[in-house]
Copies of this chain bind each other. A is one copy, B any other.
């Protein structure tokens, strides 16, 4: 694609005298001389001097030096995302229903549905238009898959679970397996509580590989519109995750937890159950949330504190051996020890 046409497509400004043919996209380190790259994290500005790219997407505030011609755009990361789509086709699953797929009774199928080999679909399942289900997925009875959804291989949608529209499940994502609910008996054993509830997933949610979202005991585990759940995340039974939130890899949400909208929980974070995390809370990696958190807080540590306080605590913890030495000196001076 010619560079001026590309800039126009991306709503970007570029030196009008340029006329290169852009053949693809690449990272700052790897982009070839005919490829487009981008800079959105200022941390990488020094890499610009060695970059080989034909042009670099930067935002209007960029004032640094660059050996590479600038392509100025309000949101370089988003523009780059759109450029990727120009040069790379999304994989398209084959049309139609593979003859080996096993469909239950009274399954309702939308138009333009792709169902792969060995997919098993239970009774009374509803599948919307333009849904793609890769091989080896299992849809239990009475589940609903909203229009435009994409299920990668080995994804599981359990009985009565509802997925909204354009939901993406990566490989092995499990929606609606039994919650971890057991009543302790007097002899120290446990009585399994029938997990009779379900899960409802909003539109535009993505659940990545091997994440497990448990069905509620009664009622509903909910994931709000646009939320993105990373690999190997657990969401406990009866929890509610709001809209447009991010749960990063290996995070664990206990049961009956309420997470707000626009919340970010970084990797390996966790919550205990029966608490509320307010809208726009940002929890640093491995934050262990043990009490309800008001909206807008930036938190870290376990139990959670303000993120800045936690950073200070950790710095001073590093100095603890020295602090003890200083205390010892003071005690000696005072003849206490």
Contacts and interface: CB of A to CB of B under 8 A. Distances in A.
Contacts of A249: 180, 234, 236, 252, 254
A336 B327 contact: no
A61 interface: no
A317 B318 contact: no
Interface in A295-331: 302-303, 305, 309, 312-314, 316-321, 323-324, 326-327, 329-331
Given A183-B75, A189-B226, A138 B135 contact: yes
Interface in A209-267: 209-210, 212, 214, 217-219, 226, 228, 230-232, 234, 236, 238, 244, 246, 248-250, 252, 254, 261-262, 266-267
A208 B218 contact: no
B267 A252 contact: yes
B286 A219 contact: no
Contact of A250 (B41, B270, B326): B270
Interface string A107-137: 0000000001110100000000000001110
A84 B217 CA distance: 9
A229 to B, nearest CB: 9
Interface residues of A, number: 116
26 contacts: A43-B274, A75-B183, A78-B185, A84-B194, A91-B140, A91-B141, A98-B102, A118-B118, A120-B153, A140-B153, A156-B171, A156-B172, A158-B171, A170-B174, A177-B231, A178-B208, A182-B246, A188-B261, A188-B262, A189-B244, A208-B212, A212-B232, A232-B234, A302-B314, A326-B336, A330-B336
Given A88-B196, A91-B159, 14 more contacts: A30-B218, A136-B154, A156-B172, A174-B210, A178-B206, A180-B228, A190-B244, A190-B246, A209-B214, A210-B210, A212-B232, A230-B234, A249-B252, A330-B330
Interface of A: 25-27, 30, 41, 43, 75, 77-78, 80-81, 84-85, 87-88, 90-91, 98, 100, 102, 116-118, 120, 134-136, 138, 140-141, 152-154, 156, 158-159, 168, 170-172, 174, 177-178, 180-183, 185, 188-194, 196, 204, 206, 208-210, 212, 214, 217-219, 226, 228, 230-232, 234, 236, 238, 244, 246, 248-250, 252, 254, 261-262, 266-268, 270, 272, 274, 285-286, 288, 290, 302-303, 305, 309, 312-314, 316-321, 323-324, 326-327, 329-331, 333-334, 336
